[in-house]
């Protein structure tokens, strides 16, 4: 039996929820949001990466001294984790940048893994050695996700910009498999690698691993020119991909989520700032990985005050009006405040690229109906 | 019965969390390899889990539950037995 596949609507949209727990997780998420408990956390241990993918939303050079110097210490990450657990955090994503660029990664990870969290780890795999895989296996995360950028070295490295990165990623993946670390592969689809989607899926399944792929690319968070024009798939390509049987389940979930949001006029329809938060590498808290506001500082103001500030940011947005709220293709659209913030500087304005995709989806689904 | 009724103790590789109103047992360490999931406990189960931090006998556990939850000793013993059978089966006892 092959491992499951899914194609998610967005690139690394939010801290992933362990799907295998099914209804229990959904119920916990919902209850946590009602109680405003931050059950989902994401710690961006570094914004630095050893790859140079043009489309990545968070990518600073691995040797960037200023970003390196501003990164929280292991003790600070652990203080944050303990405080978040006191407030109800159960699911924690460790991400970057590339987390294994930090030589002190295990000074953070090992104590964290004793705290009773459901941990997820994102990596590009290129720095994972046999020794790192063995050490992870001593106290593995519930899930590790490694991103493939192609099924061949040529394509993978055309996206990452780093010769040798495909072989190193595959070595890292194989080491994790050998040591039994829970692992799934995923891809961020661009015009360069979309032609290898099926080959990547088969590669993953050949290793007994699940595979997911995101195809809606967020702009960069640091305001640098996004260079996404050359990377983003066309609306027609997106709709064609979403129409494959392998993505049907996820597409239904996506549509259901947006349909549900039609019942309320909230700007934020997900759990961001209600049950979800993210802390960036220098200790600023926001509702999700794609939003930088309000940049609350839990280490100086206290976790309680920072979490309240994040909730206020989300709650205050509920009074905003948005042309998207009355749009007839809202149920087909992936826009959220994070998308708008990145591309328009507001929380509410439409994203022309997503409008085009939503119209194309409407055309496909309503014409068929 | 897959445990010794005179000497019962829990595995240490789990952390009891109270999240969103639920008592949850989360595996840690290498235990994640064997049980990659979360276990929900009810009030009695969470109480017993705390008590089982130290070695106890079935009689002690039944008496503790009868006292804590104000139930008849026979009913408490049956409940404790059922709980222990269940968690022993999934490897939560030493």
Give the residue with greater pLDDT, A249 vs B15: B15
Q: Determine the pLDDT at residue B78.
A: 94
The 10s digit of each residue's pLDDT in A217-250 is: 887 776 665 567 778 999 999 888 887 755 434 4
In this prediction, residue A319 has a pLDDT band, given cuts at 50, 70 and 90, of: confident
- Selected for mutation to probe chain A from B10, B15, B19, B27 (highest A CB count within 10 Å) is B19
Coil, strand, or helix at residue A157?
Answer: helix
Instruction: Please tell me which residue of chain A has the smallest CA distance to B31.
Output: A139
- pLDDT-derived band of residue A318, with 50, 70 and 90 as boundaries? confident
* Tokens 């998420």 -> residue: A29
Q: What is the dihedral of CA A187, A66, A83, A311, to 10 degrees?
A: -70
Question: Model confidence at A140, in pLDDT bands (50, 70, 90)?
Answer: very high
| pLDDT at residue A295 tops 50 | yes
Contact yes or no for A128/A172 (Cβ under 8 A)? yes
Q: Is the pLDDT confidence value at A4 over 70?
A: no
Residue A360 and residue A362: Cα distance in Å, rounded? 5
pLDDT band at residue A339 using 50, 70 and 90 as cut-offs: confident
* Domains present along chain A, CATH in parentheses: 8-319 (3.20.20.70)
Q: A223 in helix, strand or coil?
A: coil
Largest pairwise CA distance in chain B: 39
Containing A50, the helix (H) or strand (E) segment is: none
d(C-alpha A58, C-alpha A102), whole Å:
16
Number of A to B CB contacts under 8 A, please give it: 62
- Summary mean pLDDT of chain B: 92
CB spacing of A28 vs B17 below 8 angstroms? no
pLDDT at A5: 34
Residue to mutate among B38, B49, B50, with most A CBs inside 10 A, is B38
**Predicted local distance difference test score (pLDDT) of residue A321:** 82
Band of pLDDT at residue A17, cut at 50, 70 and 90: very low
Q: How confident is the model at residue B46 (pLDDT cuts 50, 70, 90)?
A: very high
Quick one: pLDDT band at residue A143, thresholds 50, 70, 90? very high
The answer to whether A139 touches A125, Cβ cutoff 8 Å, is no
Domains belonging to chain B, first-starting first, are: 14-89 (1.10.10)
Mean pLDDT of B53-71: 96
CB nearest B32 (choices: A24, A90, A142): A142
pTM, rounded to two decimals: 0.90
Q: How far is B42 from B39, CA to CA, in rounded Å?
A: 10
Provide the pLDDT for residue A1.
29
Residue A264 CB partners (closer than 8 Å, separation 6+) = none
């Amino acid at each position: 039996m092959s491992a499951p596949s899914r194609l998610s609507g967005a690139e690394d949209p939010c801290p992933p929820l362990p799907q295998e727990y099914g209804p229990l997780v959904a119920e916990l998420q919902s209850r946590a949001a009602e109680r405003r408990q931050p059950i989902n956390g994401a710690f961006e241990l570094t914004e630095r990466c050893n790859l140079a993918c043009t489309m990545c939303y968070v990518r600073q050079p691995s040797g960037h001294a200023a970003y390196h110097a501003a990164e929280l210490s292991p003790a600070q990450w652990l203080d944050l984790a303990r405080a978040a657990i006191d407030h109800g955090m159960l699911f924690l994503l460790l991400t970057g940048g590339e987390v294994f660029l930090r030589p002190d990664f295990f000074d953070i990870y090992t104590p964290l893994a004793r705290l009773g969290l459901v941990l997820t780890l994102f990596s590009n795999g290129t720095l994972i050695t046999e020794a790192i895989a063995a050490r992870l296996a001593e106290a593995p995360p519930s899930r590790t996700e490694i991103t493939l950028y192609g099924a061949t070295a040529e394509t993978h490295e055309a996206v990452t910009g780093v010769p040798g990165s495909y072989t190193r990623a595959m070595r890292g993946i194989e080491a994790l498999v050998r040591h039994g670390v829970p692992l799934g592969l995923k891809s961020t689809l661009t015009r360069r690698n979309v032609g290898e989607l099926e080959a990547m899926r088969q590669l993953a399944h050949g290793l007994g691993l699940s595979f997911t792929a995101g195809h809606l690319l967020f702009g960069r968070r640091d305001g640098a020119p996004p260079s996404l024009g050359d990377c983003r798939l066309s609306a027609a390509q997106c709709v064609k991909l979403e129409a494959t049987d392998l993505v049907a389940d996820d597409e239904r979930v996506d549509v259901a989520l947006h349909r549900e949001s039609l019942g309320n006029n909230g700007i934020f329809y997900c759990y961001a700032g209600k049950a979800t938060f993210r802390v960036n590498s220098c200790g600023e808290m926001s509702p999700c990985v794609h939003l930088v506001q309000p940049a609350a500082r839990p280490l100086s103001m206290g976790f309680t005050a920072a979490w309240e500030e994040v909730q206020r940011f989300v709650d205050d947005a509920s009074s905003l009006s948005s042309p998207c709220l009355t749009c007839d293709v809202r149920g087909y659209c992936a826009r959220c405040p994070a998308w708008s913030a990145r591309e328009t500087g507001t929380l509410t304005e439409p994203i022309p690229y997503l409008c085009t995709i939503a119209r194309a989806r409407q055309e496909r689904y309503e014409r068929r109906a | 019965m897959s445990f010794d009724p005179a000497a019962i103790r829990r595995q240490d590789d789990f952390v009891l969390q109270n999240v969103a109103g639920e008592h949850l047992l989360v595996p840690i360490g290498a235990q994640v390899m064997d049980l990659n999931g979360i276990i929900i406990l009810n009030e009695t189960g969470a109480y017993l889990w705390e008590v089982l931090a130290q070695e106890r006998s079935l009689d002690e556990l039944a008496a503790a539950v009868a006292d804590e939850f104000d139930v008849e000793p026979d009913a408490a013993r049956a409940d404790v037995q059922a709980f222990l059978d269940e968690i022993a089966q999934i490897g939560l006892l030493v």
